[in-house]
Amino acid sequence: MWLYTVLRFALFFAVWGILLLIGLSGIIALAGALFLSFPLSYVLLAVPRRRFAAVIEARMELHRTEREQLGAELDADD
């Protein structure tokens, strides 16, 4: 999660810096960076996002399995 967040911020600041370098004013460059970083992050950060989603899915599956095992143990005790 942290890696993806850091990459999103880095992409935003990189786009903002590029827009400043090409001569846009501060507020316009900031707004442009906000609008451009969203679609760029969707494309450029697809792999880290998929990895992050896979980790969350694995954790949820582990939690679900543990809950089912506990439920089965409690049912067996009755």
Residues 39-74 pLDDT 10s: 999 999 999 999 989 999 999 999 999 999 988 888
SS3 at position 45? coil
Question: Rounded CA gap, 1 and 33, in Å?
Answer: 22
For residue 61, what are the domain limits? 2-77
20 CB neighbour count, 10 Å cutoff: 16
pTM: 0.68
Residue 28 CA to residue 30 CA, distance in Å, equals: 5
Report how many domains make up the chain.
1
Over residues 10-44, the pLDDT tens digits come to 999 999 999 999 999 989 999 999 999 999 999 99
